Amino acid sequence: MFRLPWFRPDPPTPELLRAQVRAFSRQVPMMYALVLVNTIALSATHLHSSPALLTLGFPGLLGVISLARLMIWWRARKTVIDHAAARRLLRQTLVFAGVLGCGFTCWAFALFPYGDAFGKAHVVFYMAITAIGCVFCMMHMRAAALLLTAIVVGPITVFLLVSGNPVLSAIGFNMALVAVTMLVILLISYRDFSRLVESRRGLEERQAEIQSLSDDYLRLANLDVLTGLPNRRQFFARLQRVTDAAAVSGTRFAVGVIDLDGFKPVNDAYGHAIGDKVLVEAGDRLSRDHGQPLFVARLGGDEYGLIIEADLDAEALQRLGADLCAALREPYCFPGVTAQVSGSVGFAVYPRAAAAPELLYERADYALYHAKQNVRGAAVVFSADHETAIKASGLIEQALRHADMDAEFSLAFQPLVDIKSERTVGFEALARWTSPTLGVVSPGDFVPVAERSGLIARMSPVLLSWALKAATTWPDDVRLSFNLSARDIASPEQIARIVAIIEQSGVAPDRIDLEITETAVMRDFDQAARSLATLKALGVRIALDDFGAGYSSLSYVHRLPIDKLKIDGSFMRGLQAADKRRAIVKTILDLCRNLGLDCVVEGVEAPEQLALLQPLGCRVVQGFLFARPMPGEQVAGYLAAERDAPGEELRSAG
C-alpha cells in the first residue's frame, strides 16, 4: 500500500525488540481488557436475538484466549526477558493479532444480521472502536498494527461502503479516513519510537565507552605500568584506608619500605631493558606467599612499599624481612645475563611508630635508611632508638638552618702521606661545627642531616672557598682534597658555582682533588657524569671515595673521568695477613696500577697495618698513624716538622 521508506518493515534490533516488549507489557493488557469488555457488551445486547453459539460459545472461546494472553503480558511487566525470549514473545503477538483479529471480525460479521438497526449500529461501532483502540495499543509493533488494520478495519470499511445504505456508506467513508490518518500517525510514531530507541542505544554505547575509558584511566592511575603492581597513589590510598580501619578496630599492622641494593650498577652495566626485567621479577618475588597478608606496591624507581595487615611483633617482622631479602638475593637469570641484587627493608608498626599514615611511612623509610647505612641487605624495625635519633636529627637540622657559618664552622685538614718518601702529598679538608646550642657536633651526625635537608648546597661553596684560601699558603706540590655531596653533583647550577669559586681562588686546578662517593653517583648517573666532565675540563682531578664500602661497580671506574680511588677505611679495622680484606685491598691496588689510577688507603691507624700494606705496593695512605685532622693554622708547622724530622719520629708524633 505504502512506498515511503518509513512504511517498510525493518528487521528489529535487539534493543528495539526489548523496547517493544517493555512497551507492550504496559499496553497489551489494556488492549485485551478493552476487547473483553467490548465483547461482553456486544454479546449482552444480542443475547436474546442471536444464537447462543454466537453470544456465548464463540465469544467465550475468544475471550478465554484473550484472557490468557492478558495474563502472559501482565507477568512480563516484571520479568527480565532476554533477546531470544523477546523475539519469541513478539512473534507470538503477531500470530495472535492475526488469529484473534480474524476471529473477532468473523464473529462480528456473523452477529450483524441478527440485530435490529441499533444492534447493527452496535456491531459497526464495536468493530470500529475496538479496532482503533487495539491498533493504538500495538503502535510500537508496526507489523502487528498493520496486520490488525488490514484484518479488522479494512473488511468493515469495505463492507460499509458497499452496503447500499447511505448512512453506513458514509460511516465506511469516515472509517476509511480515520484508518488512513491512524496509520500515518501510527507509522510516524513507530519511526520516532525506533529512533528514540536507537538514540538511547547510541547514548548507552557512548556512556559505556566513556565508562570503559574512565575505568582504564583509573586503573592506569593506580597501577605501575612496568610491573603491574599497585603504584604509589594506590599504596597511600590503601594505607589511609587501613589506618582509618585500624583506628576504629584498635588493631595493629605494619608498613614496609624495600629498596634494591645494587640495582643501579646492574642497570648501568646491562642497560634499561635488563633493569626493567629485574624490577618486574623483584615485584613478582615480593608478591609471593611469604606467610603473611602482604599488599605490595611499586613506589618508584627500585623502591617498593608493603602493607602487612597482621599483628606482628618485631621478631616476626624481622623473619618476614629476612624472607623477603632472601627472595631478592636469588640470581636474576635472563637470556645471556645473570644479574645479582639484594634488598634492604625498613618496617614501622601502627600505632607504636606513628598513628598518621604519612608519618608511618616516613618511619618505615627511616628504618630503611638505617638498614642501608648499617646492615645492608637485611631488615630493620623502627624502634624507640630510631625515634630518639630522628629527634636528634631534627634538632641538628634546626640548628643548621639558623647556623652562622662564619662563627660556628671551621675546617680541619688531615694529611695524605706518601709512605715511600714519607712526605705529605696533600690534605683532605674536613668540616667541623660547634653549635652554640648543641656544642661540638660530629660530621657523622650533621653531614647526613645537611644532605637530606638540602642545606649542604649552601654549605659546600663556603667550605670550598675556605679550603682553597688555606691551600694558597701551602707549597705548590701539596694537593687539596675536598668532598662534594650528592646534591652538589646533581645540580648544574651548583657545579657552575663550584667552577667559579675554583677559578677565582688562585689555586691551580691541577692541585685540587674533588672527592665523590658511589652513592652520590648512583642517584643520577647521567647528571653526575655531566657534572664530573665539567669539573674535569677545568683541570681538577676526580677521586672516588669510600671505594669498596658500597657496590664497587667497575662500570663507574671506566665510564666516569676518575683519577683516583680511595679504599674505605673499614678494610683496615682488624686487618691481618691472611684476612680476605687484605686480598681485596691488594686486588684494588692492582686494579689501579693496571688502569693508571692513583690509590689512597684510608683509616691507617697502626704500624702493623702499614706493615701489611707496604708489600702490596700501597703508596699513599691517610689515617691517625700520621696525624689527626688539624686546624688550618697548624698545617704550616706540621709541614715544617715533617721536613725536619725523620719519618719514624714523625709517625710517633702523629
- Active site members: 302
The answer to whether 586 and 616 are in contact (CB under 8 A) is yes
Q: Residue length, the chain?
A: 654
DSSP secondary structure letters along 447-479: HHHHHHHTTHHHHHHHHHHHHHHHHTTS-TT-E
Residue from 430, 462, 461 nearest 446 by CA: 430
To the nearest 10 degrees (0 to 180), the angle between helices 232-249 and 166-222 is: 90
Q: Cα 136 to the chain's mean position, in Å?
A: 57
- For residue 555, how many other CB atoms are within 10 A of its CB? 17
Name the one residue in this structure whose C-alpha cell is 467490548: 38
What would the grid cell of residue 639 be? Answer: 709541614
Handedness of CA 622, 623, 625, 630 (dihedral sign): positive
SS3 397: helix
Query: What letter represents residue 534's amino acid?
Result: T
How many angstroms separate the CA atoms of 561 and 588, rounded?
Answer: 17
DSSP secondary structure letters along 256-291: EEEEEETHHHHHHHH-HHHHHHHHHHHHHHHTS--S
What would the grid cell of residue 106 be? Answer: 468473523
Distances (CA, A) of 96 to 103, 107, 162, 225, 634: 10, 16, 29, 59, 117
Q: Cα 80 to the chain's mean position, in Å?
A: 39
The answer to whether 298 and 304 are in contact (CB under 8 A) is yes
DSSP secondary structure letters along 291-318: SS-EEEEEEETTEEEEEE-S---HHHHH
How many angstroms separate the CA atoms of 418 and 400, rounded?
Answer: 36
How many angstroms separate the CA atoms of 173 and 572, rounded?
Answer: 121
Distances (CA, A) of 304 to 86, 366, 376, 495: 54, 14, 16, 32
Write phi, then psi, for 332 (nearest 5 degrees): -105, 105
The answer to whether 560 and 532 are in contact (CB under 8 A) is yes
Write phi, then psi, for 653 (nearest 5 degrees): -65, -35
- Rounded to 5 degrees, what angle do the CA atoms 513, 610, 631 make? 45
DSSP secondary structure letters along 510-579: GGEEEEEEHHHHHHTHHHHHHHHHHHHHHT-EEEEEEETTS---HHHHHHTT--EEEE-GGGTTT--TT-
For residue 412, give the DSSP letter.
E
- Rounded to 5 degrees, what angle do the CA atoms 165, 169, 171 make? 120
What would the grid cell of residue 303 be? Answer: 623502591
SS3 385: helix
Query: What letter represents residue 103's amino acid?
Result: G
What would the grid cell of residue 431 be? Answer: 668540616
